[in-house]
Amino acid sequence: MSAKIEVKNLVKVFGSQPRKALSMIEKGMSKEQILAETGQTVGVNDVSFTVETGEIFVVMGLSGCGKSTILRCLNRLIEPSSGSVLIDGQDITKLKARELRMVRQNKTAMVFQQFALLPHRTVLHNTVYGLEVQGVPKEQREKRARESLAMVGLNGWENSYPDELSGGMKQRVGLARALTNDPDILLMDEAFSALDPLIREEMQDELLKLQQAMNKTIVFITHDLSEALKIGDRIAFVRDGSLVQVSSPEDIINHPADAYVANFVRGVERSKVLLAKDVMGDTGSITLSDELGKAIQVMEEGGAAGVFVIDRDSRLQGVLTSETVFKAIKAGAVSIRELELIQVSAVSVETKIQEVINIIARSKLPLAVVDNENRLAGSIVHSAVLAALAGKGGEEDVPTTNWTTG
């Protein structure tokens, strides 16, 4: 992936003397010290990050931490005090009004917590509003609006008015309105926060489904950790205007940067966040062309009672247990190809542990983990899942040898 958005040393100071505050920031003075001495409020303090093309990048933290200010600096709805914001390599902090307007119209769109629908306009006419302002011909803009409404599940509601819609439907109109402009980047500020919990979860699912089809670059603001963990490819934690940690949901759960992040993730249901790749261990394997002696050697080295069998492209073929191997040798067999392999369950490296539990509970053998090309990547044993759910140990502690044959 390539960087769609690059934020470098972004600072926003609210007040009449921002330059004085900026010099104090450069000296390493805290937000509290600056407020006490100058009366200036540091909303964003030297923040740098990148957002990759096609990524859902979540910015989260407590209310008032500066996350929404960061979002609004990305399209200069709030003017940064210093630093740069590059979109496709173009620094928008240096653009003049007309150039900035073109970026806002063609590259970015915003979805707000408050739906911001015009009450006197129908759903269709709310959805076309952005294209109407740009002067796009009526037939063309309405065609695109109808396509966007269909995409968010609002077919048949084009002629309804906002007061006839539920909260979830209003937010769908807001999302359709943003999509009608076909922007590269969606900026979503607490977009689902005003919705009831069940509707909110539906909208999260809808966003993920849309993202599979659209592959937009999305910056999503939330104060809800479960929402961040569900939809974010990466999450940026913000405290007092500063970045604390930027990482994947799994890494944040396993390795919180400090007590602030640890407090957020303490009550998280780990099975819904951790992936197979987070708990898998290295696994011994042999190929179909190997001799039985190699199988014994690999099992002895790994202290295991079984071994995975792969083909020359590392794709999983099955499992051999020590019992099967010794019986085969006793019967005069020499090659792996002479034996009937045990077929074993396999999951993708991206499978949630919640799903892994149901599979591994039904098997006495370790669970094979395969990559996107179905090549053996590792294995998961029962004790590794239990350790992960208990929040114990790191990758170096993942057990790899609890094969059983009975």
Q: Hey, do 51-107+183-268 and 276-397 end up sharing a CATH topology, with the first three levels equal?
A: no
| 50 vs 392: which has the higher pLDDT | 50
Question: 193-212: per-residue pLDDT in tens?
Answer: 878 888 888 889 889 988 98
* CATH for the stretch 276-397: 3.10.580.10
Mean pLDDT along residues 20-31: 86
How high is the mean pLDDT of the chain? 87
Q: 51-107+183-268: what fold? A: Rossmann fold (3.40.50)
> Do 92 and 108 contact (CB within 8 A), yes or no?
no
Greatest mean pLDDT among 27-36, 72-81, 338-347 lies in 72-81
Confidence band for 275, pLDDT divided at 50, 70 and 90: confident
Q: Which pLDDT score, from 0 to 100, does residue 321 have?
A: 86
Q: Which pLDDT score, from 0 to 100, does residue 181 have?
A: 85
| Residue ranges per structural domain of the chain | 51-107+183-268, 276-397
Question: 160-189: per-residue pLDDT in tens?
Answer: 999 998 888 888 898 898 888 889 999 999
User: What gap in Å lies between CA 52 and CA 5, rounded to an integer?
Assistant: 7
pTM to 2 decimal places: 0.77
Q: Which pLDDT score, from 0 to 100, does residue 269 have?
A: 78
Question: 68-116: per-residue pLDDT in tens?
Answer: 999 999 999 999 999 999 999 999 999 999 999 989 988 999 888 777 7
Confidence band for 8, pLDDT divided at 50, 70 and 90: very high
